[in-house]
C-alpha cells in the first residue's frame, strides 16, 4: 500500500482543525491505539503521525491551547504504548522461562 500524503497545512480550514481536535482530544490511549489500526488500514499512516499533523495545523492557526491539549493526548498515548510494550515483553519472558522450567523438570523426572 502506498503511503498517503497529508494535504498542505495551509489548505486545511480552521473548521476542519476544530472537528479533528474535538474528535481526538478526549480519546484515551486505548481508543487511540484501537484507532491506529483503522488509520493504518485506510491511509497507511499511524495515529501518531495524524496527531502530529493536526497539531501542526493548530500551530498554523495559532490555536496553542488546543495544541497543548493534543500534545498531552499524544504524550499519554506514547507512554501507554511504552508501558504496554514493556508489559507484553515481560509476560513473553515469563512464559518462556516457565516453558524452560517445565522442560528441565520433565528431564529430571525421566
- As a dihedral over the C-alpha atoms of residue 106, residue 107, residue 109, residue 110, rounded to 10 degrees, the angle is 120
pLDDT tens-place string over residues 21-61: 999 999 999 899 888 888 888 878 899 999 999 999 999 99
pLDDT(9) > 60:
yes
**What mean pLDDT is predicted for residues 56-74?**
98
Distance CA 41, CA 24 (A): 18
The residue extents of the domains of the chain are 10-81
Kind and range of the H or E run holding 74:
helix 64-109
- Give this prediction's pTM: 0.75
Distance CA 41, CA 103 (A): 41
Amino acid at each position: 500500500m502506498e503511503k498517503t500524503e497529508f494535504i498542505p497545512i495551509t489548505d486545511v480550514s480552521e473548521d476542519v482543525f476544530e472537528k479533528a481536535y474535538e474528535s481526538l482530544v478526549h480519546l484515551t490511549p486505548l481508543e487511540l491505539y484501537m484507532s491506529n489500526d483503522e488509520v493504518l488500514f485506510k491511509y497507511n499512516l499511524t495515529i501518531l503521525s495524524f496527531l502530529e499533523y493536526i497539531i501542526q495545523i493548530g500551530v498554523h492557526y495559532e490555536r496553542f491551547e488546543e495544541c497543548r491539549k493534543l500534545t498531552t493526548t499524544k504524550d499519554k498515548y506514547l507512554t501507554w504504548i511504552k508501558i504496554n510494550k514493556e508489559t507484553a515483553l515481560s509476560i513473553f519472558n515469563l512464559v518462556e522461562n516457565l516453558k524452560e522450567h517445565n522442560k528441565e523438570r520433565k528431564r529430571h523426572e525421566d
